[in-house]
Structure 1
């Protein structure tokens, strides 16, 4: 498992300091990793903050394969 932080990855979504969700995946079979995703709809106000944190380090499995998107409707 070259370049990895851990065999497990936890990604948390936060809104203004409150944890809203967690996604979990685990590396399997010599580099094959499960895929996990979440979708959350929020009504945001000016000054609100939304972010992702991982429990394993800067990246899951040591590689920057995480995406975060938002839309203004």
Structure 2
């Protein structure tokens, strides 16, 4: 299933549109991050990593999930 990725350097939010039931929990919980009228509609830089993790855990459909980013070594 296709997922759109929104990284912030620590985590990546994965959004699977086919699973999304448009309950609006994301927008009501973190409106500074989720704006369905904007492109991109998820702006991960507008919240802390912990705020994003806590919000994604409330997604009723599982359309939003978290992937931890692996730091690169130089």
Same fold flag (TM > 0.5): no
Indicate the structure with greater helix content. 2
Normalised by the length of structure 2, the TM-score is 0.31
Higher normalized strand content (fraction of residues):
1
